[in-house]
Amino acid sequence: MRLIDSPADLQRLTRSLPRPVAFVPTMGALHRGHLALVTRAKEVAAGSGTTVVSVFVNPTQFGPNEDFQRYPRPFEQDCEKLAGLGCDLVFAPSAEAMYRPYASVIVHESSLSRTLCGASRPGHFDGVCTVVTKLFHLVQPDFAIFGQKDFQQLAIIRRLVRDLDFPVEIIGVPTVREADGLAMSSRNDYLSPEERAQAPILHQVLEAAATRVREKTVLSPDQLVKWMRAALEEAPLANIDYVAVADPETLEAKPTLTPPLVLAVAVYFGRTRLIDNTLLESIDG
C-alpha cells in the first residue's frame, strides 16, 4: 500500500494508475462502515484496477462550534485496517497542502443543501462540495463510493457530478449498523454509556415509522413527523434537531406519504449529533 501526502505527487501518479480507479473519501477514524465502502471499492476495481482512499479531516466542512479539533485521528490504525483490506493507495494530505493561503473559491450547491443537515449546519455542504471537487480532480476516479447513512451528502454529490459533468460514477453503500441498530459513526465514541444506551432509538423509530407508512396507519407526513418526534422524545437524553419526510431526489418535504420517500432524523445526545435515515422506494420496500 502506497502512502502519499502531496496533492502534486498524487496528481502526477494518477495518470499512470491502473484502471478502473475506485475512490473512497474519508475523514479517517475508520470503522466497519468505512471498511464496507473500501470492500465495495475493491469489488469495483475488479482486481486489475486501483483502490484509493483519502484520509483527510476537512476543516471547511466544520462549523465554528463543531468538533474539528477533537475529531478522532487514529491514522496508524486506519492505515493498518486499509492495508488489511488490500487498499492500493492512501492519500493523507495536510490542511495546508489542500488549501492555499487566501483561498477564495468554493463550490456551492444551491438547492439540495438548503434543508435537513444543510439548514442546521450552514456552510457544511460548501465544504463538502469543495473538498470532493478537489479530490476528484486529484484522484481522477472512475468510481467513487459513499455511504447511504449520509443520505443528503450522497444526493448532493450525485448532483455535483451531474451538474459539473464529472466522469465519475457514484455508488451508494447501505448503512452498516451495530448489533442494536445504531448506525456506525466515528462520533459514536463521543457518547457516554447512558447516551449510547439510548442512541439506538433513532433506528427503532425510523423502522417503526416505515412500518406505519407501509401499513397506512398514518395518513399524512405531518402526522408521521408528529409521531416520530413523540417517539424520539421517549429517550430522556435525546434533543431533536430535525425529523423529516422528504423526497429522496429533491430533499424537499413530501406532501403525501407516496413513495419514494426518505425518513430522516438528526438528534443530539449531549454534544454529539447523530443522523440516520430510511429510504422507502415503494410501499412494499
b (16+ CB within 10 A) / e for 59-97: ebbbeeeebeeebbeebeebbebbeebebbbbbbbeeee
- N residues, the chain: 285
Q: What is the number of alpha carbons within 13 Å of residue 98 lying toward its C-beta?
A: 25
Sign for the pseudo-dihedral over CA of 201, 204, 210, 214: negative
- From the CB of residue 214, how many other CB atoms can be counted at a distance below 10 Å? 15
What DSSP assignment string belongs to 78-124?
HHHHHHHTT--EEE---HHHHS-TT--------SGGGSHHHHHSTTH
Q: What are phi and psi of 186, to 5 degrees?
A: -65, -25
Q: Which of 34, 108, 137, 203 is catalytic?
A: 34
> Strands 50-55, 21-26: parallel, antiparallel or unpaired by DSSP?
parallel
Residue whose C-alpha is closest to residue 45's, from 173, 174, 138, 141: 141
Residue 203 annotated in active site: no
Q: Identify the residue whose cell numbers are 463510493.
A: 145
Q: At 128, phi and psi to the nearest 5? A: -65, -50
Query: Which residues are part of the catalytic machinery?
Result: 34
